[in-house]
Amino acid sequence: MSTQSTPSVGIEFNTVRNVKDALTLASSQKYDFLVIPIIRKQYGTDLLTSYGSKQLTWPSIASRLKGVGESADMSTALVALIRHVIDVDSPNLHIRNKATKLLQEELAAAQYFSVARVIIRIRNGNIINLTRIAASTLNTLYFAYWFVFPTCAPGNFDDDNEAELQPWLWWNKIYKLLDYHGKVYPVLELSADIPSEQAQKRWLGEPVRAVILPTKIFTTNAKGYPVLSPAHQLFIIKLIKLKVQFIIKGINPNDSTLFEPYLQYLKHITRQTEPINRVLESFTHGYEDRLQVPLQPLADNLESRTYEIFEKDPIKYVQYEKAIYQALVEQYDQKTTVIIMVVGAGRGPLVNRALEAADRAKYKVHIYAVEKNPMAIISLYSQKQEWGDRVTIIHEDMRSWHPECKADIMVSELLGSFGDNELSPECLDGAQRYLKDDGISIPYSYTSYICPVQSPRIFSELLYNRDANKPYYANFETPFVVYLHNCFFLAETKPLFTFMHPNFSIPIDNSRYDEVEFTIPTTGTMHGLAGFFEAKLYKDISISIEPNTHSKNLISWFPMFFPIREPITLATNSKIKVNFWRCCSSSQVWYEWTVIEPTTLPIHNPTGRSFSIGK
């Protein structure tokens, strides 16, 4: 059962006599908005004649648009389809100049009638003057630009890949020229042919705002209702997850019987979207692509609410319980009391799981719950009665505690989205003094993974939401925790840094360096690196947020995102070389990173100047 709400659906008319009447019609037929040219083609000449005369005389436009703009509702429901587009990039100076003036007038009219969105259809890659005109209005006109692209370029191409790549290249060029402005979106116009999987993924990485469905791509089912092919349905279902709006195009405004079936069909498809995992949904809803500064539980004490959220994870503690159980039965015997130390016990979930594992295995255990956060200690003591003598609560930083005995099993959950980024290595290195020589660390190993990612939505966010008090590069040198949603993974993830516990190297060096090379199977633009981790708890029992091995329903960690300062558009089969460092000083740990192939970027975050983690 889906809780996905029905998407907003609009209807596109090529022309109508009176815009206000059309708005009323669309609304009465339950359509959310109307897409329509607000200027009739023949008004072009009127506009040009009046251009520059200062006394604008738009009688025919005025009568057609009578009543439009009277209410805010009406403006929201009206999407202006811009007519005078192609000729602004004509090689003929006269045609270009005339078209430019017409386009500027048309945009001014849209602004006058307070429309919130304009639609511009892009038919080829000659978009440079069109884009410049859009750029010149972005900070003065209020509407958003919806640029419409076919999924496949018309004309002759060597192969289908090339034909379906072209429209994305046009969009990529427009978006880069407009410097990833937040009022600029792509809209896809579907055709009878459905894009390849790679092309779909590439578009799903863009901030697609709407999808146009021409009625001619529908077929009629046995009951006489319009339906789409299964391939179309699958693509649309993916688009619905990006919260796109739909536009039905090609209905005769005079045939009111056609309005409802298309709406019904879209409702029907929406119901086909995957059954929602309610736990996952409650964790991710509203967090899609939202940038969060990573927690620093070592330097800052977490709030009870934060513990509360993480304790809800349906799989993490199951895995820990399994790991502790397996370690007990494989490594120890039931006669002796096994000393388990939970370092970083928080409010106690791992203490409970250790107790459950011991009960299930029928083992005697004594548990030390070590926690530095004084507020979490209160929560621990509140469970003391229940736990009895089997649990000793220790209010200490695990790195400085001097216990009376050593541990058989040391259990911790100090992992961040990137594995080591909450300083699990530094903490466990400090704690392993009181792990027996043959003792076990759960987890015993964790590895970070990276993957180049196309994520223009995040790039735009970083570009436009800067803290004016920080240097211009600060946002681009800060790793964020983010539920990656509207993005495209450009290559397979690769492992980066691994840490093992216990670690008996002398001296222990937790700094790391690696160069990782990726091959890009298909064209895309890199905006940063996604980061993940996989942790081995005991033998094969693991938890992972790395896409290929992701533990089902594990919700405690969103991926990391490491930005890069300049977007890099990559051709099919090109190689990326990424360099990554984990740097340590006496008081801080930080990452530095850069790209050196196919182009060299500055080293990001040198000396941890924009972001570091306090020890």
Q: Which is nearer to a second copy, 237 or 603 (CB)?
A: 603
Phi–psi pair at 516, nearest 5 degrees: -120, 135
Q: Which is nearer to a second copy, 194 or 529 (CB)?
A: 529
> Of 164, 206, 422, 461, which residue is the catalytic one?
422
Q: Which is nearer to a second copy, 59 or 507 (CB)?
A: 507
Q: How far is the CB of 497 from a second copy (least distance, A)?
A: 12
Q: Which is nearer to a second copy, 364 or 609 (CB)?
A: 609
Mark residues 178-217: x for contact with a second copy by CB under 8 A, - for none: xx--------------------------------------
Q: Which is nearer to a second copy, 234 or 463 (CB)?
A: 463
Q: Which is nearer to a second copy, 77 or 103 (CB)?
A: 103
413 Cβ partners below 8 Å, 6+ apart?
A: 316, 320, 344, 346, 350
DSSP 3-state of 543: strand
Inter-residue contact 107 to 82 (CB < 8 Å): yes
Question: Is 106 in the active site?
Answer: no
Element (H or E) spanning 174, and its range?
A: helix 160-177
Of the candidate residues 569, 572, 588, 615, the single one contacting a second copy (CB under 8 A): 569
Q: E strands, 127-205, where?
A: 144-150, 184-189
Of the candidate residues 116, 135, 237, 280, the single one contacting a second copy (CB under 8 A): 135
In terms of Cα–Cα distance, which of 539, 533, 529 is closest to 578? Answer: 529
Residue 507 makes contact with a second copy by CB under 8 A: yes
User: Applying CB under 8 A, which part among 29-37, 69-77, 136-144, 227-235 lies near a second copy?
Assistant: 136-144
Residue 140 makes contact with a second copy by CB under 8 A: yes
Decide the pairing of beta strands 365-371 and 338-343.
Answer: parallel
User: Applying CB under 8 A, which part among 22-30, 113-121, 421-429, 603-611 lies near a second copy?
Assistant: 603-611
Residue 602 makes contact with a second copy by CB under 8 A: yes
Mark residues 40-79: x for contact with a second copy by CB under 8 A, - for none: ------------x---------------------------
Phi–psi pair at 259, nearest 5 degrees: -65, -45
Binding-site size for a second copy (CB under 8 A) equals 40
CA distance 441 to 443: 5
DSSP 3-state of 410: strand
HSE at residue 615, side-chain half, CA atoms within 13 A, is 17
CB atoms within 10 A of CB 550: 13
Q: How far is the CB of 337 from a second copy (least distance, A)?
A: 40
Q: Which is nearer to a second copy, 20 or 173 (CB)?
A: 173
Q: How far is the CB of 189 from a second copy (least distance, A)?
A: 23
DSSP 3-state of 440: strand
In terms of Cα–Cα distance, which of 453, 465, 569 is closest to 177? Answer: 569
Residue 241 makes contact with a second copy by CB under 8 A: no
Residue 155 makes contact with a second copy by CB under 8 A: no
Residue 95 makes contact with a second copy by CB under 8 A: no
Q: Which is nearer to a second copy, 181 or 316 (CB)?
A: 181
Residue 405 makes contact with a second copy by CB under 8 A: no
Which single residue is written with the structure tokens 């926690």? Answer: 371
Residue 417 makes contact with a second copy by CB under 8 A: no
In terms of Cα–Cα distance, which of 134, 31, 28 is closest to 78? Answer: 31
User: Applying CB under 8 A, which part among 39-47, 397-405, 509-517, 528-536 lies near a second copy?
Assistant: 509-517
Phi–psi pair at 379, nearest 5 degrees: -60, -40
Question: Is 413 in the active site?
Answer: yes
Measured between alpha carbons, how far apart are the two ends of the chain, in Å?
46
HSE at residue 377, side-chain half, CA atoms within 13 A, is 12
Report CA 541 to chain centroid distance, whole Å: 29
Q: Which is nearer to a second copy, 486 or 605 (CB)?
A: 605
Residue 304 makes contact with a second copy by CB under 8 A: no
Angle at 302 between CA 347 and CA 290, to 5 degrees: 120
User: Applying CB under 8 A, which part among 143-151, 237-245, 275-283, 577-585 lies near a second copy?
Assistant: 577-585
Residue 600 makes contact with a second copy by CB under 8 A: yes
Q: E strands, 3-77, where?
A: 9-12, 33-36
CA distance 245 to 3: 17
Q: Which is nearer to a second copy, 14 or 136 (CB)?
A: 136
Of the candidate residues 73, 260, 386, 515, the single one contacting a second copy (CB under 8 A): 515
3-state secondary structure 457-521: HHHHHHHHCCCCCCCCCHHHHCCEECECCCCEECCCCEEEEEEECCCCCCCCCCCEEEEEEEECC
Q: Which is nearer to a second copy, 54 or 362 (CB)?
A: 54
For residue 197 the two structure tokens come to: 């999987």
Q: How far is the CB of 520 from a second copy (least distance, A)?
A: 16
For residue 440 the two structure tokens come to: 């076990």
Phi–psi pair at 352, nearest 5 degrees: -60, -40
> Of 12, 106, 164, 413, which residue is the catalytic one?
413
Of the candidate residues 177, 276, 299, 315, the single one contacting a second copy (CB under 8 A): 177
Q: Restricting to residues 453-472, which ones interact with a second copy according to CB under 8 A? A: 466, 472
Q: Is the dihedral of CA 344, 350, 352, 354 positive or negative?
A: negative
Residue 596 makes contact with a second copy by CB under 8 A: yes
Residue 388 makes contact with a second copy by CB under 8 A: no
Inter-residue contact 584 to 511 (CB < 8 Å): yes
User: Applying CB under 8 A, which part among 317-325, 359-367, 429-437, 575-583 lies near a second copy?
Assistant: 575-583
Inter-residue contact 251 to 258 (CB < 8 Å): yes
Q: How far is the CB of 569 from a second copy (least distance, A)?
A: 7
Active site residues: 413, 422
Return residues touching a second copy (CB under 8 A).
Answer: 52, 96-97, 128-129, 131-132, 135-136, 138-140, 172-173, 176-179, 466, 472, 507, 509, 513, 515, 566, 569, 579, 581, 583, 592, 594, 596, 599-603, 606-607, 609
